[in-house]
Structure 1
Amino acid sequence: MDILLIAGLWLDGTAWDDVVPELAALGHHPVALTLPGQGDGAASATLDDQLATVVAAVDAAPGKPLVVGHSAAATLAWLAADARPEKVAKVALIGGFPAADGCAYADYFAVEDGVMLFPGWSPFEGADAADLDQQARDRFAAAAVPVPEAVAKGVVRLTDEHRFDVPVVVVCPEFTPAQAKEWIAAGESSDLSRAAHLEYVDLDSGHWPMATRPRELAHILAKAATS
């Protein structure tokens, strides 16, 4: 199966470099996406531009792909299911929930000169970054791509209720499945609470398992693709 991989904020397609060969070895066709404005130098890119890239990849897949969204890109994966509910086989969300209709995509940190810079590690101390050593942190920070303002502040628009029929796998890295269930039940994600097919998978890692647990993550995604 084609597995489309969408990394979160400040990351381009190379974030999946350690996951791609593992998925290929398991018999799948992984496609790591580099989004407009996050790796291609298009600082004026919008959320709609990024979604168009994801939807184009869904349309280009020979069959129904598994669409994987990490962190904030959980919203992009879900937007793809909304845009192509008949074409997406399943959505896997790693360490994130989709934003609700009408909300900003990822307006989390200050925007300066039209971009949202990586804010450093202070906001992520604790479970998020516990398994990243200093070398990994330095490498991440050096490679971080500023997120265009029109992406971070782009408004999420969800229109097709057939998205609720697309199966969803919530991969739980820095939090547990029990916590995820509790948050969703409490209203953290109004959309996931309405998903017809929702499952949870635990992964003992921090927020960036593609860097710290690539083999384990690949096996989880491969199982999601075939189950």
Structure 2
Amino acid sequence: MTTSMSSPTVVLVAGHWLGAWAWDETLDHLTTDHTRAVALTLPGLDGDDAHRTAKTLDDQAAAILDAIDEQGDQPVVLVAHSGANAPASLVLDRHPELVSRVVWVDSGPVAAGSVFAADLADEVDELPLPPFDDLGQQASLEGLDDEALDRFRQQAVPQPAAVLRQPVELVNDARHGVPTTLVCCSIPGEQVLGLAQAGHPMFAEVAKLEDVEVIDLPTGHWPMWSRPRDLAEVVRAAATA
């Protein structure tokens, strides 16, 4: 299916420990479908950057805004996976007019004042990818074969502690008006909406969204590897909505 050239560009941002490489398969499918898309490695997640552990959420938000600016005058579709929700929320707060739709992949908007790891010890300057037995207790690894896990382990970059400690400062309620797609993978959409209405701190911001579409894509927390073709189709549909 050919997408009109008037459709917005998709900007893909992966979560903790990941760079642009994490989207390779999904990006291939999007390109095949004639959807313009770019994948971003956030500051702090470039393994060749000698100063990466000093990067902050503000640096990451600025990088996303730079990537958006490079796409021209038309608003983009911003796709944020997992822990990319913090810098993406900053972008929506600061410049909601630059995003025609936000797609949260097994993720969602964060609340003002959120801190990912407030109790992280002061002497810690980065957080490496945990052993998979431990990671699997925090996020579903469903659908990932040995090859995917090996690539994850080999290419993962430790998450800068400064990013994990920084509170997310949000002041602009206009962020709630950006059209939103929630791609629910490890938790069904109905459950996510129930938790949002109940005021669960992880999902409370979802209840404030003014225009939200919920898509169930049952799999683990990394659908760009377990269901890349299906994820690409969801993203393509969001870009042409």
Maintained 8 Å contact 1:81/1:88: yes
1:44-55 mapped onto 2 (5 Å cutoff): 44-55=54-65
Q: What is the RMSD of the two structures over their aligned residues, measured on CA atoms?
A: 1.8
% same residue:
35
Query: Secondary structure of the residue that 1:9 maps to in structure 2?
Result: coil
Instruction: Please give the alpha-carbon distance, in whole angstroms, between the structure 1 residues aligned to 2:118 and 2:166.
Output: 12
Distance 1:92 1:46, change over 3 A: same
Q: In the TM superposition, what whole-angstrom CA distance separates every residue of 1:65-122 from its partner, at most 9, and x where no partner exists?
A: 0001001112322221111111210100011122211121x32895664001111112
In structure 1, the residue matched to 2:226 is: 212
Instruction: Please give the alpha-carbon distance, in whole angstroms, between the structure 1 residues aligned to 2:39 and 2:59.
Output: 17
In structure 2, the residue matched to 1:226 is: 240
Q: In the TM superposition, what whole-angstrom CA distance separates every residue of 1:35-55 from its partner, at most 9, and x where no partner exists?
A: 111025222111110110011
Instruction: Please give the alpha-carbon distance, in whole angstroms, between the structure 2 residues aligned to 1:3 and 1:143.
Output: 23
Q: Does 1:70 align with 2:81?
A: yes
Instruction: Please give the alpha-carbon distance, in whole angstroms, between the structure 1 residues aligned to 2:13 and 2:119.
Output: 20
1:1-227 mapped onto 2 (5 Å cutoff): 1-39=8-46, 40-41=48-49, 42-62=52-72, 63-104=74-115, 106-107=116-117, 113-125=124-136, 128-188=140-200, 189-227=203-241
Question: Which structure 2 segments of 5+ residues have no match?
Answer: 1-7
Maintained 8 Å contact 2:195/2:204: no
Instruction: Please give the alpha-carbon distance, in whole angstroms, between the structure 2 residues aligned to 1:103 and 1:17.
Output: 30
Query: How much has 1:24 moved relative to structure 2?
Result: 1.5
Maintained 8 Å contact 2:184/2:217: yes
User: What is the count of residue pairs matched by the alignment?
Assistant: 226
TM-score, with structure 2 as normaliser: 0.88
TM-score, with structure 1 as normaliser: 0.93
With 71-80 and 205-214 compared, the bigger mean Cα shift is at 71-80
